[in-house]
Structure 1
Amino acid sequence: MNSPAEPSDFSDIKENTILVLGATGLMGSLVADLIRKRLPDVRLILGARGLATNEAKHHRRIDINNRQQLRKVLVDVGCVINAVGPYDYDPTVLLEVCGEQRSHYVDLAEAPEFIDKVKKIGATVCELQDEDDRTGIVTGCSTVPAMIEAFAHHWSNVENIDQARIYLAMGSANPVTPALVYSLLAPLAKRSKSAFTQLDRRSYGNNNDLTRLFGRYPFALDTTGLTLWRRVVPATFWISFDRDFHSQALWLAAKILPWIHPRLIKRLCNLAQPFMPFVQRYGDKQGFLVIEGVDKTNQVVKEVIIRAEENGLNVPALPSTWAAEKLLCGGYTGVQDLRDLMNEDEMVESLEAEGYPVSIRH
Structure 2
Amino acid sequence: MSKDFDLIIRNAYLSEKDSVYDIGIVGDRIIKIEAKIEGTVKDEIDAKGNLVSPGFVDAHTHMDKSFTSTGERLPKFWSRPYTRDAAIEDGLKYYKNATHEEIKRHVIEHAHMQVLHGTLYTRTHVDVDSVAKTKAVEAVLEAKEELKDLIDIQVVAFAQSGFFVDLESESLIRKSLDMGCDLVGGVDPATRENNVEGSLDLCFKLAKEYDVDIDYHIHDIGTVGVYSINRLAQKTIENGYKGRVTTSHAWCFADAPSEWLDEAIPLYKDSGMKFVTCFSSTPPTMPVIKLLEAGINLGCASDNIRDFWVPFGNGDMVQGALIETQRLELKTNRDLGLIWKMITSEGARVLGIEKNYGIEVGKKADLVVLNSLSPQWAIIDQAKRLCVIKNGRIIVKDEVIVA
TM over 0.5: no
**Under a length normalisation based on structure 2, what TM-score does the superposition of the two structures give?**
0.31
**Under a length normalisation based on structure 1, what TM-score does the superposition of the two structures give?**
0.33
